[in-house]
Structure formats: C-alpha cells, structure tokens
Structure 1
Amino acid sequence: MLRNPGGLALHGGGLNAEAGLYLSLVETEGTVWLEGAAVGRALNLDGARLRAPGGVALKGDRLAVDGALLAREGMSAEGEISLTDASVTGPAHFKGATLDNPGGSALSANGITVGKVLNLCEGFSARGPDPADVRADRQPPVLRRRHAAGAGRQGAHLPPAGGAGAGDADGRAGARRGRPAARPHRGAAGRRRGVAGRAVHGRPVVRGAGAHAAGRRAAGLAAPGP
C-alpha cells in the first residue's frame, strides 16, 4: 500500500514507461500523479483502490497511452479521476469500476481522445454532487474507429450519417461547431434558376425557347423577324 494522505502517494509526472505501467490491485491513499506521462502498451489499474477523499485520486491530465487504459474488475476511486486532454490509442475500459467523489466530479474527461472504445458500462458507477457525475463539458470524447462511428456521433451529439434529411442535419451540426452549414444541392431546377439570373457582358441570359423573346426584351434588343 502506498500512503501519503493529503499528498502524493505516487509521483509519475512526465514518466516515460515504454513497456507499460501496471498498477493492478494497488492500494493508495493520496494522489496518483501521472500528469504528462507517456505509457506504452497499457496502463493497467484493474482492481486498484485509489483513495483521496475530497481530492484527486488520479491526476492523468495530458496522459498519453499508446495502447489500452484498463480500470476494470472492481477498480474503485474515492476522489476525482482527472483525464483532461488525455490520449489513448486503444480502448479505455472502466467496466465494473466505482468512482465516488461527493465533493466534486467523479470523472473529468474534458478533451480526452480514445482510439477504439470508451467503455463506461457493465457495472460502472460514478457518484458526485451534480446530476452529471461524469463530465466531458469542454469537448466530447473522440472515437476514431470506423466501427464505432455510430456510437461516437451519438456521444458527441451529432446527427446520424446518411438517410433522409442527413444533409440538413449535418449542416446544422456544422453551424453549431462554428463552421458554415453546407449549401444544399439545388438540382436541375435550381441550376436553371441560377443560370437565368446571371449576366454575360451586362445582358441577362435566359435559357429555353419559351423565354427567348422575354430575354431579348429584357436586354433591350428587338424581337427577331419571322
């Protein structure tokens, strides 16, 4: 057991662990500090018990894991788990984990990037003072795997891809993210109206036999002879 109540139980800030960091079944009292650490293969916290009541149990801001983040099999934390701007190339599993921080956020994951799946189900629980105990309010988690695209779009509050009305929905979503909405496809009728409104050398161009005479009158030309 690593004990330092009110301080750092483990200081690994800036750590470079290419072969992985294995803290399964560890018990700590105090903060596990992994801010800015770089971990290869896996960060394994399966079954770990992290205690820092009223404080930060795990400080993993800007943590980079080139592999999997595993916090399963009864892993528990008293205090905040902070993974702000963390990056995980593989999956992040919190299956069966229990996070408890009545004085603040149970899990802060603002700006986290997960390469495969972010698993917060199958027995996962979190308790804090707000209705939203699991917070990702600055940026939504990013899921990069193609097979997880549907779940990722729903988690990021984006409309489903494809289907009727998808263009309008994507346009509105783009506008919410600060990008101009996509211009809808006008089709053949829209192209004809657009051509009719243009001018060549100051003369409006009107296409179609029925509009030929009207076009010549608008351009100030005499009507053609019979």
Structure 2
Amino acid sequence: MIKYINQYSFSFDELNFNEEKLFEAFRDFSTQNFPLLEELYQQLYPSIKQNCKPVAGYKYFESEHITFQKNILSIDNIEFNLGPIIYRDLKDASDIFIFVCTIGSDLEKEVQKLISEGDTISAFILDRIASELVELTADLLELKIQNELNTKNYNLTNRFSPGYCGWSVSEQRKLFSLLPEDFCGIHLTESSLMIPIKSVSGVYGAAFNLIRKDYHCDICDAEFCYRRKSD
C-alpha cells in the first residue's frame, strides 16, 4: 500500500554506479581522455563510496487534493505555474507525488578540499560524479514508487523539477512548504537553493494505466538540462 509520506536511505552500491555510467556522465569528453578519467575515478572511489549518503522521500497527494487548469497545478490550494511543457505531461494525472533526494554534503566537502589543495581536475570530476549520483538516487526512488503503484495498476509520468522545462525555480519554496521541515535533511536558503547542494526536488504525476510520454527536449531550449545531455 502506498504511503502518504515515505523516506528511504540507500547505500552507494544500490545506485549501481559503474564504468558505463561514468563514461556516460562524461560523454562530452574526448574518448582519448577516458583512461585518465578512469584512473582518477579509481583514486576517488574510496572517498565516493564512503561519503555518498543517498536519502530520498516523497509526499503523496490523491486526486481530491489537486486540480489542473491552464498550465496551473494546485495542490492543497497552493498554485504552481508549470508552463505548457510540464502541464502537457501532468494534466492527465489523477495523483501527485512531491519528491526530494540528496546524497548529503560530505562529497561537496571533498570537492572543496580538492580545490583548496589545487587539484581542480579531480574536483571537477568528483563534482560531476556527485551530480550523477543524485540523479541515480532519484531514479532509484522512482523505482520504489512505481513498485508500490503496481498493485493498483498506476503508472508514473516523468519527473519534473523547478528550474526545468519552463517551470520557475522560484516555486521551489512552494514545493517545500508542502513537505515536512528538513525532509530528508534538505532545507532551502533565502534564494531557494537546496542545502545540501547535491539534491533534487520535483513532482511526478500518477494515474491508472497512464502511458508515459517522452521528455519534450525538442521544444525546450534549456542547454543546462541533464536530460538534454543524454540525447
């Protein structure tokens, strides 16, 4: 049975970060640099495994708590201006999950330590790996939610986060207002930056026998989007 609030703690091994995912995360690198990348990863691996502490959770809202109208999603009377791209995917959902996930702050500290030691190449590589590990944490949370929904033949939409696909990052604070304080150990700064930095938040839609659509990268101009990198 799906819970209304749920939180998970994962191990680094559960994220299944392997060599294939390492090279995918650095696909903009020349393949000539892959041997160096692999060498530095092996050097960083003990620290990554020790300091990556994945935590993820969600809050579940059934249909009576949500409404959709003209690019607007309302959850418990809090309005989110999703914009047309996200609205197109979510408008057929009957239920909504608000989620957050993080790998904690220890890897961020390791990045800063490497910078202070002048090892900017290792710091850059570790920082990007940490970003990938957050996304893998979100992927694992998605699997957990979908497995719980399988009992009622519900499917999830793609996940969407403030700051992407035309959804303003300024609405992050509204999102967090619907979650318990410091949920999963994450809080917001005055400028709506998540702390720890290596964190992700957003929403899923869910509905009976919902057909999941592809991301609309062809009509989105956000060059920084991690989904665009995989195209």
If the length of structure 1 is used for normalisation, what is the TM-score?
Answer: 0.21
* More RCO (CA 8 Å, sep 6+): 2
In terms of fraction of residues, the more strand-rich structure is: 1
In terms of fraction of residues, the more helix-rich structure is: 2
Give the structure with higher Rg (CA): 1
If the length of structure 2 is used for normalisation, what is the TM-score?
Answer: 0.21
